[in-house]
Amino acid sequence: MTSTENLQHPSTEMQAPTTTLPVNLIAGALTTAVALAFDVEILASIGLGLFAYTLFWFVNATGKEIAIGPVVSMIATAQWIVGPYFAYYHDAVTYKYRMYVDEESYFLYVVPSLILFVLSVRIFSPNINIDQIRNYINRTSILNSTNIYYIFLIGVVAHIATPNLPFSLRFILFLISQFTFIASIYMMVLRIKFRWVCLSISFILLANSSLEYSFFHILLLWSALIASYVCAELRIKFRTKFLVFLGCILLVTQLQAAKSEYRLRIIQDPSKSGIFTLMDAMVENSLFQNSEFSSASTTGGALNARLNQGWIISAVMSYVPAVHDFENGDTILRALQESLLPRFLFEKRAVNVSDGFEKYTGLRVSNDTSFGISIVGEAWANFGYYGIFFMGIFGAFYGSIIRLTFIIARRFPTVIFWIPLIFLQATKAETETVVVLNHIVKSGALVAMIYIMAYKVLKWRI
């Protein structure tokens, strides 16, 4: 690795030009105007415009930058605004997955919260250009590509070993198993041989475990996080990226339509888990053949159930403070304390993930189901409408973590490749503060340990 003297101006060498702002603003403004023309209330219209802004931000940044900020912002606006929009305006609700407060109350809180969150993420996050990273690292760093393959193999071994280890070790092994994707990012950016093979193996391993347990969210998150590197390698233009993105939305929607059927089948016969059972379930629940697809209260509600995390936020708003008093920051303080306790590389929470959900919504869930109330739901449970300002602070925190990683890259330029691992759980819109902080602290500590082990013990150049 180069000395600090050779890295005096990394911010000017690795930072991207600002993403084309007018395109994002125009998309947001036009979407807001169209929504208003179709008699959508002004707050919901502004929210839809904000989603369009983050969508174009993501598409435009993909292939140019390490698009963590756009991914986080787009997922949040989709699940906290677009999902609730369909619930309010198209009756896309089912069972408990309904909105518990009126539209005006919900959007009056969530839309300003997300505006501050997205602005903070954008302002505090550096725009890190992929091409400039490649040139900078190739010029300033001495890397041994063989060591990158070792990182990949460590991830493969951890992936295979994780199901056979005690529960207390599974979280750290899960993080290590994601090294396959980190190694693939190295290979993609630096154009190391066999990069496409390794990336394919990474997705095959993750898809196999997703099929076995019917948990597809990590697969979808990595698809979003890795997209920028793939598009940079293939030099995909904006129009193509946008069309591919729309195709991916259709695929995810079809997967959502078939997921319940697939889960039922593998519960009845675990030996049937696999791609062929999933494909059969997708055919039986095809969006283009289902005669009930036009019924907003049936299939539409089921399809929107996963997208719409707003129903949980609305349940929190209905329950707090009417039944449960505001926490006044207690859950935030507990999250900070827990994330900094000893043995932070191990999963130490003994409570059920849904404890916060049941406590702040008054609703009950089965033992095999888990719900988080999300950051914005937790902000309401603590501060009510003042939670809007907390969301601005939280967005600044996300952006600051990316910027801190960028600063560390002055000494270790390749640490930038590990940003997706650090933010893997943080990109999920349903996670709460304790989950986000735990993941960022644990994964950040793991990355630090990897670099210490590599440079001080193994004398590796990574």
Domain assignment of residue 233, yes or no: yes
For 80, 126, 238, 447, the CA distances from 401, given in Å and listed in that order, are 23, 10, 28, 14
Q: How far, in whole angstroms, is CA 202 from its chain's centroid? A: 18
For residue 226, the enclosing domain spans 143-284
401 assigned to some structural domain: no
- Is residue 227 included in any domain, yes or no? yes
* Spatial distance between the Cα atoms of 63 and 130, rounded to a whole number of angstroms: 8
**pLDDT, tens digit (0-9, with 9 covering 90-100), for 344-400:** 444 544 445 566 888 999 888 776 667 889 999 999 999 999 999 999 999 999 999
Mean pLDDT of the chain: 83
Q: How many Cβ atoms sit within 10 Å of the Cβ of residue 165?
A: 12
pLDDT number for residue 129: 87
Residues 184 and 203: their CA atoms lie apart, in Å, by 10
| 53 in any annotated domain | no
Predicted local confidence at residue 323, as pLDDT: 94
Residue 67 lies in a domain: no
> Residue 409: inside a domain, yes or no?
no
pLDDT score for 92: 73
Assigned domain for 183 exists: yes
216: helix, coil or strand? coil
Q: What is the largest CA-CA distance in the chain?
A: 67
Task: Give the pLDDT score at 14.
Answer: 60
Average pLDDT (118-132) is: 91
Q: Is 148 within the bounds of a domain?
A: yes
pLDDT for res 8: 41
Instruction: Give the DSSP per-residue string, 126-167.
Output: --BBHHHHHHHHHHH----HHHHHHHHHHHHHHHHHGGGS-H
Q: Where are the beta strands (DSSP E) in 23-162?
A: none
pLDDT in the model for residue 221: 85
pLDDT tens-digit profile of 166-203? Answer: 766 778 888 999 999 999 999 999 889 899 999 999 99
Q: Does position 259 have pLDDT exceeding 70, yes or no? A: no
Q: What is the pLDDT of residues 196-242, one digit of tens each?
A: 999 999 999 988 887 766 567 788 889 888 999 999 888 888 888 88
Distance CA 71, CA 55 (A): 9
pLDDT, one tens digit per residue, over 394-443 is 999 999 999 999 889 888 889 999 999 999 888 888 888 988 998 899 89
Please give the share of the chain, as a percent, with pLDDT higher than 70: 80
| Whether residue 295 has pLDDT greater than 50 | no
Inter-CA distances, 449 with 28, 184, 445, 456, Å = 42, 20, 6, 10
The pLDDT tens digits of the residues spanning 12-65 come to 556 655 445 678 888 999 999 999 999 999 999 999 999 999 999 999 999 888
The average pLDDT across 260-278 equals 69
Give the count of domains, the chain.
Answer: 1
Q: Are 41 and 103 in contact (CB under 8 A)?
A: yes
The arithmetic mean of pLDDT across residues 144-162, rounded, is: 91
* Residues 411 and 4: beta-carbon distance below 8 Å: yes
